[in-house]
Structure 1
Amino acid sequence: MDASPQEFDRVLSSMCTRPHPEARAAAERFLADNPGDPATYPAIADLEDRAVDTLAEVTGLDDPAGYVASGGTEANIQAVRAAREVAESDTPNVVAPESAHFSFNKAADLLGVELRLVPVDDDYRADVDAVGAAVDDDTALVVGVAGTTEFGRVDPIPELGLVADEADACFHVDAAWGGFHLPFTDHDWHFGHAPVDTLTIDPHKVGRAPIPAGGFLARDADTLDRLAVETPYLESTAQATLTGTRSGAGVAGAAAALDAQWSAEYEANHERASGNAAYLADELTDRGYDVVDPELPLVAFSLPEAEFEAARDAGWRLSRTGSGEARIVCMPHVTREMLRTFLETLDAARVGAGV
């Protein structure tokens, strides 16, 4: 095979990154084990339990229930599915801010529930009053985001939790990307801060586990029981995951990444990434770009199309938000030197355009 994987030296907008070396080695070792049948593959089942225990520590969950999913999309779908199973309405709906990940659109389509997307406030966070106005007797789930994909914003999680609680609805927090930054901030975002029922957190993003390694966590085991189906031809008699057969690579890689980095290396990464985001935001502001003040290590800013295309032509992997801002995610592979080189690319494009 003559194809080569993507190098990360010019990847700026992706929420994927290089796996930790120990996670890569563990993934290769358990590549053929199937966590979908834990009775047949007990070693990988033990590693999954270990990963879930650490994710619970990260997210303030005392008695963890959950599993290593394929990613945030699966975890978010499972949250909607679990809420639908306990909803008393025949026409359940899910209320989420318009900043929610597009996986909720998939979930609504697959599960036959209504998705109500409500406006965000002027700082791109969920508008609690708008969420409250959209909730009714048919609401099965309220969603908050802790680290939005486009702007890195953290919704007011405790306040959204109260809205869900008053509506007798389940409450889900999507911390797929932000979950490995937020423990080192003063935000209120997890099971210990609010009446959160389910939570998404992805080791294969900032956690530096190999893909696929998402995380689905639930406050109690009953939630997983609601998702379980019988599996009569396996050694294991039931399965709560959305997928069936799963590679042990994601599970083992997640366990190894967590063992190697929680919590000191993750804290160091957060501090480094936050410093890089602040540096980039200041440099862009000094050059006259309109920059959205970074909350977590993600920088969104206005970028004229000619300069955007010049950056892409120079090999930078760069994307825009739905409203048009360029976005740079300060993942573990993004270094200060990379950002300086990127700024040099923009400077050259501005000179060429006569700016």
Structure 2
Amino acid sequence: MRQPEPEPQSFDRVLSSMCTEPHSDARAAAERFLATNPGDPATYDAVADLEARAVEGLATLADHPDPENAAGYVTSGGTEANIQAVRSARNRHRESGGTRGGPEINVVAPESAHFSFTKAAEVLGVELRTVPLDDDYRADPNAVAAAVDDATALVVGVAGSTEYGRVDPIPELAAIAEEAGARFHVDAAWGGFVLPFTDHAWSFADAPVDTLTIDPHKFGQAPVPAGGLLAREDAALDALAIDTPYLETRSQATLTGTRSGAGVAGAAAAMDALWPDGYREAAARAADDADWLADQLADRGYDVVDPELPLVAADVPEPTFAALRDAGWKVSRTGTGELRVVCMPHVTRSALRAFLDDLDRIRR
């Protein structure tokens, strides 16, 4: 029996997602290239050219020293990019003779690191050492320095943490990695499209960053899936390459192999349409909305974590949180239980007012 066509969910009440509605140009480009496979660029050369353009755009955002020739590719998302960063560092550590026949290779990351690093450690057979945060939810450099050793292949810094939107002290962490002989990775999956319009130190220009995750399908307003992995040197991707004897392209550094050209084309189109002014305006609007919401919640007596990037966390009681969910609001909690609201481009001030109206009604 033929079923009614389902309708995609509206973003009107989505306040916790780090994805958003794609730009119209990105949506159209994704549809045009839906059936192409950037995993075999010699066969699908048009989408390969678009991927080079997308990587250059991402490298420009991240202040890569040579954006036109930057190493990288459009991933399925931040999880794939982070796994690949760990894999590249592990392989390069082994190639350099580190820990050969010795202790298990390890990765040092703050407790705020995305759960994709747990996946990476399990898949790749490395030890994940998570270290405490400071009082403001950022990586503690002293704890990181105490955790690294000769078996450390990678140190991770977060530039826009998933729970609190915090930016770690990237230059300090990079210096610790360099002294330990480890690679340094920045996870800017969400923050990367906001940070260029702030004074934070987070990019290739700010520190000796080896690899960096930055996702167009988050604040970049590209269609899902479209993540990004960038590297300072070609060697980082060379460490990932394997032979692909039955393809026109004879080697491949990606993880997923066959990929839809939709993500590549959508990412390139979004950046063409929005960089830099569109992103600057969206970032400023989101920051204003986050500050406004934080003030409104504080005025109502809730303990609020001051926003650094446009993400608001507040200590809202469980019954109130449940009632907001029952009212149709898509909200989530941090690991320690705070209400978490991400001010993405689709989140308007009017939506936040409606959210507060429901909150006030629930509190009565």
TM range (shorter): over 0.9
Distance 1:266 1:222 in 2: 31
1:200 has 2:213 as partner = yes
- Residue 145 (structure 2) aligns with: 132
Q: In the TM superposition, what whole-angstrom CA distance separates every residue of 1:6-50 from its partner, at most 9, and x where no partner exists?
A: 110000000010000000000000000000000000000000000
Unaligned runs of 5+ in 2: none
Distance 2:55 2:120 in 1: 23
Distance 2:16 2:194 in 1: 17
Distance 2:154 2:338 in 1: 30
1:277 has 2:287 as partner = no
Distance 2:58 2:21 in 1: 20
Count of aligned residue pairs for this structure pair: 351
SS in 2 for 1:82: helix
Distance 2:9 2:106 in 1: 40
Distance 1:286 1:226 in 2: 52
SS in 1 for 2:239: helix
Distance 2:7 2:139 in 1: 41
- Correspondent of 1:89 among 96, 99, 105: 99
1:4 has 2:14 as partner = no
- Residue 248 (structure 2) aligns with: 235
- Residue 37 (structure 2) aligns with: 34
Query: Shift of residue 260 of structure 1?
Result: 0.4
- Residue 78 (structure 1) aligns with: 84
Query: Shift of residue 3 of structure 1?
Result: 2.1
- Residue 156 (structure 1) aligns with: 169
TM-score by length of 1: 0.98
- Paired amino acid for 1:65: A
SS in 2 for 1:74: helix
Query: Shift of residue 223 of structure 1?
Result: 1.1
Distance 2:268 2:129 in 1: 36
SS in 2 for 1:144: strand
- Paired amino acid for 1:20: H
Distance 1:349 1:290 in 2: 18
1:67 has 2:73 as partner = yes
Q: In the TM superposition, what whole-angstrom CA distance separates every residue of 1:245-270 from its partner, at most 9, and x where no partner exists?
A: 00000000000001000000000000
TM-score by length of 2: 0.96
CA RMSD of aligned residues (A): 0.6
- Correspondent of 2:25 among 22, 27, 38: 22
Query: Shift of residue 62 of structure 1?
Result: 2.1
1:225 has 2:238 as partner = yes
Runs of 4+ aligned structure 1 residues displaced above 6 Å come to none
- Residue 346 (structure 2) aligns with: 333
Distance 1:86 1:249 in 2: 31
1:349 has 2:362 as partner = yes
- Correspondent of 1:182 among 166, 176, 195: 195
- Residue 324 (structure 1) aligns with: 337
Distance 1:252 1:212 in 2: 11
Once the two structures are aligned, what percentage of the paired residues are identical? Answer: 70
Query: Shift of residue 4 of structure 1?
Result: 2.0
- Paired amino acid for 1:337: S
Unaligned runs of 5+ in 1: none
Distance 1:268 1:243 in 2: 34
- Paired amino acid for 2:77: G
Distance 2:362 2:327 in 1: 10
1:314 has 2:320 as partner = no
Query: Shift of residue 306 of structure 1?
Result: 1.2
Distance 2:45 2:92 in 1: 31
SS in 1 for 2:74: strand
- Paired amino acid for 1:67: Y
Q: In the TM superposition, what whole-angstrom CA distance separates every residue of 1:151-170 from its partner, at most 9, and x where no partner exists?
A: 00000000000000000000
- Correspondent of 1:256 among 256, 269, 274: 269
Distance 2:235 2:312 in 1: 39
Q: In the TM superposition, what whole-angstrom CA distance separates every residue of 1:157-204 from its partner, at most 9, and x where no partner exists?
A: 000000000000000000000000000000000101001000000000
